[in-house]
Structure 1
């Protein structure tokens, strides 16, 4: 799918305050039609409040929400053609899957026969056609999630909003569902905003990711860009297992206590070490970093190890066929390509 260059959904300097607390502070994001944008960040960073401003559940204290060239900032929720999937799914327990999906159409005064036809088609789209007469209590968590998704899609929304929809699923099902949602979103070409605190979900599903912290956007970009060349120390530390070390560069060498790394640009003040691209080895390379192994955990396909050094504790993730040395053993770290970057 080729994304449009035109900005379809715009958050223009939006702020949301509750008394003297600011949940979102001057956020500006432009989303082209057909893009899946993830809002990624820890709890309390403002990502769900941002989603609720798009939906109309929260009115911005300042700023505008613009959809397809229309200012919808003050438009009521029911007048916005926006589909929402909540973290809790919010299904009606006394209604069948078919009736749950058709609820939004009935509220829009769609003819009863047409409503059932469209609801049945939406259930087929998410692979639940045979389950249309089941009640939520008769369905698994993954099936309930699909019903909630079908209910959001059946109204043919201008924008689809997903608020941590996978957090209640087990790890295996969550991985399957994120692939299914992404495939469906791309096939239908729906502009989608996805809220998550899970880095893997954001990276796997998104065209772009907006990293948020304390009500502001730290950084926005393609997943590969944010992982390989983060501009923000918060982004670098939040996106997976990375260690950010403060220091200074001089004549192409970054230095910190007990550490040096060549290839540093002038003015660099932080070194980002990417755990999965470090190796425990005595071989020479751009990084000089001795330490002591203080922790090691076997995770099946990988080992996760912590090295205590003068520069701090460094996390290392290595393949399971390259086990770390015994606890307490002295060791040295080396960076593979992309393992050491600078901010």
Structure 2
């Protein structure tokens, strides 16, 4: 992205927030402020939850760091470390909270064991799609609402990446009925894992690099990771035949940047603006990368023997009922979750009404016409 465009957007972010601020400094003043001698030279570290081999989901962290450096004329450098180089992949938040590193780039629902409210930043089962999640975050108050919650964990968080709707995962055997989940050992995290457990399955949370060996050895029977582009790289098609869709637990999966709260508060306003703008740009980059690369990857997987299977309506209905019971139960006992769930669910319902009128009707028609050609 052009540096001048970044500086223009950083000006808006510094004056009125990263999204939609109407008042702000002129671009030349911000450029001088960022590049001027009064701005500090900073060298921060960011621990990622993803391996370098996954160039989209891990790559978004590197794109983010590069953008921050460009916006600040190299004065603010962020070094990105892959999963396990500094912190274990599922402990990025802990490293930031403790001040071991300044930043982590991770999936928020990895931390639902601490508090189920972390799930909102990634996505709830049968929740919002990618555009709806972004709208709630940037225009619906989601970022501010979540950061009220994040304060108790000594972090400030921003969206940094989104995968789009994901696939339902790889299964060593067919899953045609809800009863087929009985005893199924599945790599799945967050509240989706609780749904699988309610249906009789055994959810397990594993980092990306640990999944293939577990599936190959039979330690797990099924795995959800992301979608065709990443799944092909991880080689799941070599050890499981049945490729199900959709991931009802991730109609959108947003990844996040966590910044140590004390470090965030110590930053100059222009550097905080640079982080906001760079994280937003990197989020759009990730969405585009997956949307552009998943189609060819899916064709290759099918050519290698992957058998595409839609989850049956019976399975989807059972998962939906279970997820609603679980979410209602969490909201009843978890005040943090409830405070976010009430405005989140209103935003979800409002946007679904609009999407049914325009987006969904358009998509359904175009898809049906394309299928007849």
TM-score of the superposition, structure 2-length normalised? Answer: 0.22
- Of structures 1 and 2, the one with the larger relative CO (CA 8 A, separation 6+) is 2
Per residue, is there more helix in 1 or in 2? 2
TM-score of the superposition, structure 1-length normalised? Answer: 0.24
Per residue, is there more strand in 1 or in 2? 1
Larger CA Rg, structure 1 vs 2: 1
